[in-house]
Amino acid sequence: MSSKARVPHFKSEADERKFWETRDSTGLVDWSKGERVRLPNLKPTTQSISLRLPVHVLERIKAAANARDVPYQSLIKVWLEEKLSL
């Protein structure tokens, strides 16, 4: 890391965000000293979708969810994730 290039102290997260939006970190951060970090409490970003299902299919999903005592939308997400993991 160059002695000339230093990351300034920021008064707020917004100030830091503005700084990094217009700069390349290559000359300011020594990435060879970076460490992997786990952030286990982060929730994945979600996006709403609209999905048309035949009524009988939705009723069967709702019945299966009710038997497991979970919301049917959650059960659909679990089933999709399981299918994608195969």
Per residue in 17-76, pLDDT tens? 999 999 888 888 888 888 999 888 888 888 999 999 999 999 999 999 999 999 999 999
Does the residue 75 lie in any domain?
yes
Does the residue 65 lie in any domain?
yes
pLDDT at 3 over 60: no
Could you tell me the CA-to-CA distances from 14 to 5, 7, 22, 62 in Å, in that order? 21, 15, 13, 44
Does the residue 79 lie in any domain?
yes
Q: What is the pLDDT of residue 86?
A: 80
Number of domains within the chain: 1
Does the residue 80 lie in any domain?
yes
Does the residue 1 lie in any domain?
no
Does the residue 40 lie in any domain?
no
Does the residue 17 lie in any domain?
no
Does the residue 29 lie in any domain?
no
The residue range of the domain holding 61 is 55-85
pTM exceeding 0.75: no
